Structure 1
């Protein structure tokens, strides 16, 4: 199929110049795998080295720039990006697979992050003073070059929530998007980069392992912001230890939702549960990936959630009637189908529901209908794994202690949710759950994008909750009499 490529297709950005490279790979549409949406540059080690050096040289001036100037530049860039959101949605859908509504929200949030962080910067940068017998100021300064490595599942918002605060805090960046869907990121970053000095924003693409290794072992890189799998995160920590780089990571998740005996399972609640499970076809680190429901409400929940799944329209996200698009890539598609195939060979019950928008082209994309799995045990693979797809296991419990124990029985600790009419009980349970954030009667994202709560255990490293990650890209120091 014929596609219209963005101007940055197959290029990388180094020191203000968009460069073409010899080696490239195709970016395909997961809804129609015969459509090439664009190309991704496969950057050499030499180009990555140039990008790091470009950022290193830019740091000398950018780190000393006026914060009001930084804020103004970011706001102006946000204003221009806001004008191209509508025209960019279809590109994002075609390379990522999300439904139109979800894709547009992602792009608008990028603009919101820019505006909100630009305002936050002015207050955050002010020194904090303590005068208990001695005048002490806590002041902030930029850390140095930041490497931002982002994934394919929600590439836009996860890139901008790292790039924006890094730049505002005075640090040039080297951005490494996922090769599966880098095109919209680069289109947006081209706009943003034009408002900043050369070398403040650099973009390299290609092999995650090769480029990642280079960024993690280069002493000129002082901060690594990574979003992706836990095993890759562990590898980054090992390799970055040689120069004691600061790491900021959002890793895997296996989020539990606990439905108590008194939960209100009305239509709105079921829709919230469905949204928490199937957002981006379940390809979200903080999606609901297992449900624990009180034994007295098990059958009711399964029945109502099944009916909700039956109304899910699966197809090409570019179609307005679609409520869930395809999985993003062949590897993830095969992994999730493998999980279902293995669990289907046990005593578990798998109920698959939903509507195929276009059955004739179903096999042309990485499409899956959503599935509910019951009759499984806590140690089952489908419960312990991070499915990252439209599959949800549902288990029952008899006591709150049992529910908390099962919810915490995971290597992950990203998000959790408690569904009950008793808010006091929800707070008590939240204190016992091993998660970076706990939602009550919902399982979603924070509306205030300045808030960020990394996960516990193997779900994240570094903690910053108030300033949209600005603190993670700066060093604090004391100045005293």
Structure 2
């Protein structure tokens, strides 16, 4: 078995070599902020440029490699990762804060992405032939050096859904994980990188602004895949414009859930809606962040959601009875805390519920009980903001048009959900919602990880894909006789 963590702590990966960096920052456990989980290297601009050199040099050979060899290497790496999942779960919990069950699912999905994308590559890469006035083939080729910049909230799956298809399509990558929780993703990528030639996968960590400026200004970097805030995404667009880099960005969200008069609000439905709000303590771009419910069901829904929140067990995610862990970092904890304080001071009704697993150590971590907010208006800050925490405002509506208008009243357009027993109504409303994907009687992710739909408005920049995002990292060109 390949040694992973703590081998990657305080290091970066350039041209197949793990470099020990003198300047580092601490990675802390959000459930016990006095516990240092490991260190993250603070790479210098020179090291970032060296990583680009490495990726550019490796691209010359890797871009011409056989797709069957790429797929075989990926499947072998997937098998190795599968063997270390159990021992890696606790590390992800300790640096990220997720509950054990959520953390393990994330790691398993990484393996699924590897195997699924490898199989998809063999089927999708073959040229498409068109006949007519002349014979034309649509052929594929890699774009070039690819920068992958990913966030702290879901570091594993969001990184793998970009790195894996980029490598499989013949690109070389430079990965920049978030400084708050880079250790598990680096440990996993250490395994993956060992199955590929040196320079195919490089990892740099440190200041997002310093590293981002270099990656966005170097003409050898042809694609930037970024997941994070809309503000940072706009900054990347400005900086990358001089070289017209191809951008693939998943940005912020303020997802609405619309609950109609005929909605089934039984125990299972309420559980699905609750999970749509509180998955990863609400720190998910595609989490439910606003609920609009028909006025005839308003009191019922508020009561049932409150009771569901009362059963949420908050504590250190490493404890098996915990259903919601802490927020990941101090900045996010302070933002959500202050947002709730301002909301309460404005006259809104904030009901906080849930169970503190360990009250004696509660103040040692970024713990927060979930809250339901009522008595707010559409233009309230709590409704318009992306809370990114265990908070949900619930507002009544009287007509379908009103519900759609309020749901679309946002600069974001990532995901949405429609809760009704009438599928025709669900589809009619979905057609009117400004969202990249709409779920019916649920608010989750696509079970088939090959599917991906971009957000609208300020929630993203890419195109829909049904091939594990392979299309986003390959150019298509026409070959005609």
- TM-score, scaled to structure 1: 0.99
Which residue of the partner structure matches residue 57 of structure 1? 57
Which residue of the partner structure matches residue 349 of structure 1? 349
What are the equivalent positions in structure 2 for 1:246-395 lying under 5 Å apart? 246-395=246-395
- Residues 155 and 181, structure 1, Cα contact 8 Å, conserved in 2: yes
**Cα displacement string for residues 410-467 of structure 1 (whole angstroms, at most 9, x for unaligned residues):** 0000000000000011001100000000000000011100011110000000113201
Q: Distance in 1 between matches of 2:177 and 2:303?
A: 40
SS at structure 1 position matched to 2:33: strand
**Cα displacement string for residues 166-224 of structure 1 (whole angstroms, at most 9, x for unaligned residues):** 00000000000000000000100010001000000000000001101110111010000
What are the equivalent positions in structure 2 for 1:393-404 lying under 5 Å apart? 393-404=393-404
Indicate the RMSD between aligned Cα atoms, in angstroms: 0.7
Which residue of the partner structure matches residue 233 of structure 1? 233
Deviation at 1:363, TM superposition (A): 0.1
- Residues 55 and 172, structure 1, Cα contact 8 Å, conserved in 2: yes
**Cα displacement string for residues 136-158 of structure 1 (whole angstroms, at most 9, x for unaligned residues):** 11111000000000000000000
Which residue of the partner structure matches residue 91 of structure 2? 91
**Cα displacement string for residues 213-236 of structure 1 (whole angstroms, at most 9, x for unaligned residues):** 110111010000000000000000
In the alignment, structure 1 residue 420 sits paired with structure 2 residue 414? no
Q: Distance in 2 between matches of 1:118 and 1:474?
A: 14
Identify the range of structure 1 (459-468 vs 23-32) with the bigger mean alpha-carbon deviation: 459-468
SS at structure 1 position matched to 2:426: helix
Q: Distance in 2 between matches of 1:192 and 1:104?
A: 18
Q: Distance in 1 between matches of 2:235 and 2:132?
A: 44
Which residue of the partner structure matches residue 177 of structure 1? 177
Deviation at 1:49, TM superposition (A): 0.4
Identify the range of structure 1 (459-468 vs 426-435) with the bigger mean alpha-carbon deviation: 459-468
Deviation at 1:133, TM superposition (A): 2.1
Which residue of the partner structure matches residue 80 of structure 1? 80
Q: Distance in 2 between matches of 1:135 and 1:209?
A: 48
- Residues 5 and 38, structure 1, Cα contact 8 Å, conserved in 2: no
Q: Distance in 1 between matches of 2:83 and 2:293?
A: 45
- Residues 5 and 37, structure 1, Cα contact 8 Å, conserved in 2: no
Which residue of the partner structure matches residue 109 of structure 2? 109
Q: Distance in 1 between matches of 2:320 and 2:302?
A: 28
- Residues 314 and 325, structure 1, Cα contact 8 Å, conserved in 2: yes
Which residue of the partner structure matches residue 18 of structure 1? 18
Which residue of the partner structure matches residue 163 of structure 2? 163
Q: Distance in 1 between matches of 2:183 and 2:5?
A: 9
SS at structure 2 position matched to 1:257: strand
Deviation at 1:346, TM superposition (A): 1.6
Which residue of the partner structure matches residue 41 of structure 1? 41
SS at structure 2 position matched to 1:55: helix
- Residues 455 and 461, structure 2, Cα contact 8 Å, conserved in 1: yes
Q: Distance in 2 between matches of 1:152 and 1:454?
A: 20
Q: Which runs of 4+ in 1 moved over 4 A?
A: none
- Residues 5 and 187, structure 2, Cα contact 8 Å, conserved in 1: no
SS at structure 1 position matched to 2:351: strand
Which residue of the partner structure matches residue 71 of structure 2? 71
Which residue of the partner structure matches residue 195 of structure 1? 195
Q: Distance in 2 between matches of 1:22 and 1:422?
A: 61
**Cα displacement string for residues 36-75 of structure 1 (whole angstroms, at most 9, x for unaligned residues):** 0000000000100010000000000000000000000000
Deviation at 1:5, TM superposition (A): 5.8
Which residue of the partner structure matches residue 463 of structure 1? 463
Unaligned ranges ≥5, structure 2: none
Deviation at 1:8, TM superposition (A): 0.5
Q: Distance in 2 between matches of 1:60 and 1:432?
A: 47
- Residues 464 and 472, structure 1, Cα contact 8 Å, conserved in 2: no
Which residue of the partner structure matches residue 219 of structure 1? 219
- Residues 464 and 471, structure 1, Cα contact 8 Å, conserved in 2: no
- Residues 465 and 471, structure 2, Cα contact 8 Å, conserved in 1: no
- Residues 38 and 183, structure 1, Cα contact 8 Å, conserved in 2: yes
SS at structure 2 position matched to 1:431: helix
Deviation at 1:7, TM superposition (A): 1.0
Q: Distance in 2 between matches of 1:5 and 1:245?
A: 34
